[in-house]
Structure 1
Amino acid sequence: EKIVNALQLPYSNAKLEVTNNLIKLIKRNAFGFRNFENFKKRIFITLNIKKERTKFVLSRS
């Protein structure tokens, strides 16, 4: 039944598996990173993830 579903349905977890493998690869190579922030930045860069910026309105008094 699971094999039939895999062949008939258009759903796949391939993108998630690729993402997990990239993070594990970075983790193996991340021995020299000084802190978690650098590790997180490397993941964002590798996966091309951009942080959403909050737009602040600054008023001049």
Structure 2
Amino acid sequence: METLIVQPKNKKQLLAVEAVLQALNVTFKKEKGYSPEFINEIAKGEEDVKNGRLTRVKDVQNIWKSIL
């Protein structure tokens, strides 16, 4: 079958969707999204790259020699 991705906007909608699925005997699983802290870290990293705050590796073949 197909997979549906449902994105309720609040707890009330979530409970209603779960109730309907249970009433129809549809199996489902809950998955939590990423934490706000993680999302902020990713956004910060993307901003760093955009502003040139990064380290470029020129010699990928010998990368381990440069850190040892």
**What TM-score does the superposition give when structure 1 sets the normalisation length?**
0.26
Q: Larger RCO: Structure 1 or Structure 2 (Cα < 8 Å, ≥ 6 residues apart)?
A: 1
The structure carrying a bigger helix percent of its residues is: 1
Task: Please give the TM-score of this superposition, normalised by the length of structure 2.
Answer: 0.24
